[in-house]
Each structure stands twice: as structure tokens, then as C-alpha cells.
Structure 1
Amino acid sequence: MNMKKFSDLVGLSSYTLRYYEKIGLLKHVQRNSSGHRVYSNRDIDWINFIKRLKDTGMPLEEIQKYASLRDIGAQTRADRQALLEKHREKLKQHIQQQVEHLDALEVKIDLYKSGKVS
């Protein structure tokens, strides 16, 4: 599929897609005879994974590291797994912190509802 269709499908601008290609996150984008990018279903899956990592707070540098390890191949499986496990732990900590913030807000809202706060 062309960049416009791919961009619409994955919800990223063409600028972002070109940037990801420039920094090595999209290394295997095919080109047609006119030199235009042609994206595949595999590219959709990869971009969705990148978006998920970003949405869960993984820094772009870490995503690049993961992508580089992925490009090297199967011998980096343990390193990629370790990187994702480390991210999982950070994400769990972040979620716990957000739950604590939510609980504090609930307490404050309950005070307003009870009329104990002027």
C-alpha cells in the first residue's frame, strides 16, 4: 500500500513515518519502480508494536535499540526479551503510581461531596 493509505491505517503522519525510516525504525520498506514507498501488512504489525511501546512510555532510544536487536536476528532474542521485561517492570511501577494518584483524587472528591471542604 502507498504511504497515504498506510499513514491513515496506522494513524501516523507521513512525516512521522519518514522520520521513523530515517532513524532506523522502518528499515525494510519496499519501493516500487517509481521509487515510492510500498508498505506491507508486516509493516502495519511493526508500526503498531512501536506505537504500543511509545504509548506505554518506552523512550524512542530504547525502541531503536529493540529495533536494532531485531534486525540482527534470532541470536538477540534473549536481549530483546530482557529489554521488554525491563520495560514491563517500569510500566507496572507507573501504573501503580497512577493508581495511587487516582486514589488520592477520589479521597479529595469524596471530601467535596461530603461538604467537609469549603
Structure 2
Amino acid sequence: MSGQSLSIGEVAERTGLSVHALRFYEREGLLVGPVRRTSGGRRRYSSFDVDWLLICVKLRESGMPLADLKQFAALVRQGPGNEAERLRLLDTHQRRVDAQIEALEECRTVIAWKVGVYAEHLARGEAGGLWDPTA
């Protein structure tokens, strides 16, 4: 994709973002560079834009607040010299994701236990009355 110029539709397809979302990302300052335009005003994206957007998608999917993503993009746009601030943002987000994963693992443990209870009772033919509110 190096040196390639992509339309908004092609970028939407590669990133999984809608055309509307891509316009929103641009409007909100989430891109690190200006989106180039053709003489007719159509957006043209670079491979760098796509790579950046793929990172943004993962950060948002993992729950990074929009304000933090905006701040991260602004820091990257500023260039070298603020790497410690970028690291702080990413580290904070990583800790938040780790906590979410831990909470989900606890949920999965409870669910697996409950699945086991039901499977065992059904296998023995004794499932009637499990959590029966009428009993």
C-alpha cells in the first residue's frame, strides 16, 4: 500500500470504519495529518493514514475515551519530544483494559461454573426445578 492514494470508500473497507465515521475522525482531529484532497475536493488517504486509523480503531474498540484519543493524536501531530506523555496515556489505557479483562475473566469463571451445573443436572436428568421461582 506504500505510496498508494486511497478513496474514503477504500479506507472504510480496510479499516472497518464507515464513511461517516471517517469524516467524524477527521472533523474531531483524530488524524495525525491533514487528509489530502483531489482537485475536485475528494478525500485521498495514504497508507500512513490507514495504519494510524487501524490503531485508532483498536484503541476505541478497547474503550479508550474519545478525549484521550484526541489528546494522543494531538501529541503525535506535535512530533518528537512528547513521547513520555504519549506513554502515560497508553499506559493508563492499558491498565484500564487489563482491569476490564480481569473483570471479564471473573465473569467467565462464574458463567462456566453455572454452565457446568446445568450440564451436570441435564445429563443426570435432574434439571427440573433449577432456579425455579415457582418452587
The offset of 1:68, in angstroms, is 0.9
Q: For 2:11 and 2:75, how far apart are their aligned partners in 1?
A: 25
- Which structure ranks higher in relative contact order (CA pairs < 8 Å, sequence separation ≥ 6)? 2
- Residue 39 (structure 2) aligns with: 33
Query: 1:23 aligned to 2:28?
Result: yes
Residue pairs, 1:1-118, within 5 angstroms: 1-26=6-31, 27-115=33-121, 118=130
Aligned-residue RMSD, C-alpha: 1.3
Deviates more, 1:47-56 or 1:106-115: 106-115
Task: Look up the SS of the partner of 1:74 in the other structure.
Answer: coil
Structure 1 moving runs of 4+ over 2 Å: none
Which amino acid letter does the alignment assign opposite residue 98 of structure 2?
K
Q: Partner letter of residue 54 of structure 1?
A: R
TM normalised by structure 1 equals 0.94
Q: In structure 2, what residue type is equivalent to 1:32?
A: T
Per-residue CA deviation, residues 12-35 of structure 1 (Å, 9 max, x unaligned), is 111111111111012421111211
Gaps of 5+ in 1: none
Q: Percent identity?
A: 31
Size of the alignment, in residue pairs? 118
Whichever structure has more helix as a proportion of its residues is 1
